[in-house]
Structure 1
Amino acid sequence: MRTRTRRPSTRLALAAVASLAVLSLSACSDDSEAEEATESTSESSPSESVEPTETEEDTEPSEDAAGEAPEASSGDSPDWANPVSTPGEKLTTIEAGDVTVDVYQVSTTKATKSGFFADPETNKPIIAEGDEIVFVNYVITNNGDTIDLGASGVKVDPKYDDWPYMQGMDSITDLDLFAEQEVNETAFAAGSFRDPGVYPFGEGQQISYGDNFRYQAGSPITFTVTVIPVDAEGELLHDERVEAEGAAKIS
């Protein structure tokens, strides 16, 4: 396994500002002998400024006026992530700096549709409907300081050692099939989009998602983990890129 590590930066919390409005009250009496004046009293009440909302994304946390990114939520998982799932038998553990990726082989099943890629020589799908595919699950833990991830999150790329094609391995996109395998199709929960795209991954927190590809029993396979943090504007910090590999065998 090869690892190149740099420490990602941390971010601070959002700030909210309330404005105070002053109300004045006065009273007087009409006593015939003398006039008595009462001093005006005031009380303050907070009022919140609300801007029009057009899309669901606007309800998600984003940068504040000072340009600071959201703070990592407390708990076992970030507030932007799907609940962690842990099915399968562990194949390997990969250390990519402070990030640990445990890879599990879940099970095999039939492809419900054809994949995206075709063999350039035969023009037939690499995965055809009805072919045997295998599901794997990635359980990802941050063992260090908060990492501000971008929209790509923590990327894991599987590839059989004898994979003959230039592109990565083909897979099937079928949410029902992922649900049957108890595997998240993505680490990001529905409605978690943010602009800018900054997703804090806190110390000790976990996320999980999975993948599927053509089943080759007994085949050696390499999983490549890539972590690229982002700045407060969601721009990738390529100088802080961390990459590592882990070898395993599909059973």
Structure 2
Amino acid sequence: MFSTRTPTSRAAVALVASLALFGLAACGGGSDDAKTEKTASATPAPAETTADSAAASGDLPDWAKPATQVGDKIATVKAGDITVDVYQVGVTQATKTGQFVDPETNKPIIDEGDDIVFVNYVITNTGAPIDLGASLVDVQARYKDWKFMQGMDSIVDSALFEQENVNTEGFAPGKFKEPAIFTFGKGQSYSVGENFRYQKNSPITFKVGAVPVDDKADLLHDDKVEGEGSGTIK
């Protein structure tokens, strides 16, 4: 089942809600101000503007942040008329400890200073306009060898997202509204990014889901669209 929260909050909320169910223990992280941003690792992939992104048309929903087009494409996933192009952006270091530890090793899944990789999702509607709720289009990434059922750990640090030129969420400032009805028009695109522990040359799967809403912002679960694709983190 796909969530109904914004991309920024999705990772933290989903992980917290999964503590008891999946046996991961919380691990505290410091504040952004208390951590010194570290330089990129020796193996970063430089961010490059892509020419083939569907977002190049510049057709942006009125509620969305401008789409960023950075990185190298590693996968394309289709869910109904929605297409998600996945780009590997770059590798940097975690500025804080992640939110969970591996119960088998009692060590953080992401520790301060560990290499993390950023990916960018350019999301395009190729079909008829669709009304989406607060979660917009949900993308969930899993390494092939990821051993937990819930989502992969990530670092919530807006400065790192800005550094990698990816959006923390799809909504432009002041554009979120109630009732949560956001029309995603034909040919329109927006982008969001996320990060997780860097595993070089690792196969990875991306699951995409979107649940439309009616004119009262109620979710139309019978009309949800889903898709799955795979790629490799280089």
Give the structure-1-normalised TM-score: 0.69
Displacement of 1:174: 0.6
Distance 1:132 1:170 in 2: 13
Deviation at 1:121, TM superposition (A): 2.4
Unaligned runs of 5+ in 1: 1-74
Q: 1:167 deviation in Å?
A: 1.4
Distance in 2, Cα, partners of 1:165 & 1:208: 27
In the TM superposition, 1:193-212 aligns within 5 A as: 193-212=176-195
Tell me the CA shift for residue 166 of structure 1.
2.2
What is aligned with 1:95? 78
TM-score, structure 2 normalization: 0.74
Residue 99 of structure 1: how far off its partner (Å)? 0.6
TM superposition shift of 1:120: 1.5
Instruction: Work out which of the residue numbers 160, 173, 176 in structure 2 matches 1:190.
Output: 173
> Which residue of 105, 112, 131 maps to 1:122?
105
Q: Of 95, 99, 115, which aligns to 1:132?
A: 115
Equivalent residue for 1:218?
A: 201
Which of 30, 53, 62 is matched with 1:79 structurally? 62
Are 2:226 and 1:237 aligned?
Answer: no
Q: How many Å separate the matches in 2 of 1:139 and 1:197?
A: 21
In 2, the alpha carbon distance for the partners of 1:180 and 1:209 equals 14
How many percent of aligned residue pairs carry the same amino acid?
A: 60
Displacement of 1:122 in angstroms is 2.9
Pairwise CA distance, 1:91 = 0.3
The answer to whether 1:177 aligns with 2:167 is no
Q: Which has the larger radius of gyration?
A: 1
Bigger helix share: 2
Could you say what the CA RMSD is over the residues aligned between the two structures, in angstroms?
A: 1.0
State the alpha-carbon separation in 1 of the partners of residues 97 and 65 from structure 2: 27
Q: How many Å apart are 1:234 and its aligned residue?
A: 1.1
- DSSP-derived class of the 1:152 partner: coil
Inter-partner Cα distance in structure 1 for 2:95 and 2:195: 12
5 Å matches for 1:7-86?
Answer: 76-86=59-69
Gaps of 5+ in 2: 1-57
- Partner Cα distance (1:237, 1:215) in 2: 36
Provide the secondary structure at the position in 2 that maps to 1:172.
coil
Rounded to whole Å, the distance in 1 between the matches of 2:74 and 2:65 is 22
Give the partner amino acid of 1:197: A
| Equivalent residue letter for 1:174 | D
- Alignment partners' CA distance in 2, 1:194 and 1:141: 21
Q: CA deviation at 1:204?
A: 0.7
Cα distance in 1 for partners of 2:96, 2:173 equals 24
Equivalent-residue separation in structure 1 for 2:175 and 2:96 (angstroms): 28
